[in-house]
A and B are shown apart, each in its own frame.
Chain A
Amino acid sequence: MNVVIHSAGFLTSVQDLGRAGFRQSGVSSGGALDSHALRVANALVGNEDPAAGLEATLGNLRLRFEDQRVVAWCGGAFNVRIGSEDLPPGHAGLVDREDELSMTAPQAGSRAWLAISGGIDVPLVLGSRSTDLRGNFGGHEGRALRDGDALPLGEPSFLPARVRELFGDRKIAEWTALSAWVTTAPRDRFLRIVPGPDRSRFTSQAQTSLLGEPFTVTLDSDRMGARLEGTNLDRVDSGDLLSEAVAPGTLQVPPNAKPILLLGDCQTIGGYPKIAHVITVDLPIAAQLWPGDLVRFHEVSLGEAQQLLRERENDFARFRVGLSLQKS
């Protein structure tokens, strides 16, 4: 059975947790820019973590289903409806055959992740169902979705009878996840960073500015990275560095002194100095950035960053156990 894309919006693609193991061939990790949001949505509809879902940029999405499914979404401030009924973020909703799911443009943030029970069953390419939009492979025909596309869905883990039992007469489940996990477009965009290996190549003025002043996201931003403008981050040295590994979250500074925050589709290596890295638990906020947004940075220690990630993973494990008890 399929989900049919009636309106694909600005940029919607099939994404999962991304590709691992192909950096030596120059292949980015890619995947959902906020992989945590996709995992939470997957958990809510009874999917395993690696199930593929949809990443919608700027919404304006309309889908129709060919059979009964459970859906859930997380991300920016969008209005999502099943027919005429509101589906708030982080709640499981039931769609029946021929139901339409619609998503408006966002009031805040830019992206949302939608999970569908059974997952989107496109072929695995290099171990992942993610669309590599630059490499044109994976996902649905290696490209962003277009109006009229039909995507095959996998076998859902919920049996229809069990869904009826769980949902009763309602279409929207009452249970939900932590609000910080499901709504990731805060009014104040603070990103926590740890120092990068090249921090000492920058002037003390640059290091102070990075932590004290706001930066604006500029127009030429995409899934590879968010380009930022603010006080120039000047170096004390000059010249090119040897290219080396970069990662989503790396804040690199090209010779024009304007930092670029790398996101999921970033290249595997880079030769610009790395002044800092956004910590993993704050990548969901980074994934909501859109041109014109203001963002500020706040420094934490590496120990804190790893502790925060450990706490989130423990909370997520408890959340999954909680859901499975509810459904058993």
Chain B
Amino acid sequence: MRIEPLGDSALIVRVVDECRSDASLNAVLAALRYLEAAAIPGVIELAPAYTTIGVFFDPTRIEQAAPDDSPFDVLSAKIQSVLNAAAFTDEAEVEAPLLEVPVCYDREFSLDLEEVARAAGVTEAEVVLRHSKAAYRVTCVGFAPGFPYLSGLPVELATPRRATPRKEIPAGSVAIGGGQTGIYPRKSPGGWNVIGRTPLRLFDLQRAPPALLCAGDHVRFREISREEFSSLSS
């Protein structure tokens, strides 16, 4: 594990060196939970992604033993000692919820299904089957409020981002960008290949937390009909 400054009011904890899918994500989540539980004074918030945790802090509120101590050094040492005391290892097992996300892959919603099928060298029906059968995991949330990046996409479905991003992708669009799949929480520009749409709200201010999916969550897609999409949307 390494800790590096991210400017004067944040730092990055590099929990594991390599991204080994589930194992590195579990290690990051385990470290995240220990750091949350420790509630170190001066720490404002924690932001996990793939192999790292961003720690945002107020350097004027980090307790110094001596006036010359650097807030970064003091906080780094505290983070180290929290994780050491928790006997944290990067082989940690983590419990995370499984969410089922209904997706309608109808023509109307699957703007780039043809392109993905061509890139994969299979039929469109086969793309839908493989996409909806795979097991996914949220590696991080970002790009836009509530946008989940999912690992677990079958390798043959990996499709490069569109050379020219679309000006407008509808809310709920399920898309493939390189080797990842993701869901656009709201209408926005974007360069990923859209293959379906979910009626679920990925970001809802009335919910706590507002993002439906959080880093570490397990996800499965369930294919639904156009009728079911309409009834779930209303």
Residues of A bordering B, CB below 8 Å: 20-27, 29, 125-126, 132, 134-137, 194, 196-197, 242-247, 249-250, 267-269, 274, 277-280, 302-303, 305-306, 309-310, 313
Contacts and interface: CB of A to CB of B under 8 A. Distances in A.
B60 A24 contact: no
A196 B11 CA distance: 10
A321 B51 CA distance: 44
Contacts of A279: 7-8
A268 B47 contact: yes
Contacts of A277: 5-8
A245 B54 contact: yes
B52 to A, nearest CB: 4
Given A125-B205, A310-B60, A23 B47 contact: yes
B72 A302 contact: yes
Given A126-B205, A245-B12, A250-B7, A267 B142 contact: yes
Contact of A244 (B52, B70, B215): B52
Interface in B138-178: 140-147, 149
Given A23-B56, A26-B142, A194 B5 contact: yes
Interface in B1-48: 4-10, 12, 19, 44-48
A22 B203 CA distance: 12
Contact of B50 (A21, A243, A280): A243
A306 B4 contact: no
B7 A306 contact: no
B168 to A, nearest CB: 14
B71 interface: yes
29 contacts: A22-B209, A23-B46, A23-B47, A23-B54, A24-B46, A25-B146, A25-B209, A25-B211, A25-B214, A26-B141, A29-B56, A126-B205, A135-B144, A194-B7, A197-B5, A197-B12, A242-B19, A242-B52, A245-B6, A245-B10, A247-B6, A247-B9, A247-B10, A267-B143, A268-B47, A269-B47, A277-B8, A280-B9, A302-B72
A303 B142 CA distance: 30
B121 interface: no
A58 B198 CA distance: 41
A320 to B, nearest CB: 14
Given A22-B210, A309-B59, A243 B140 contact: yes
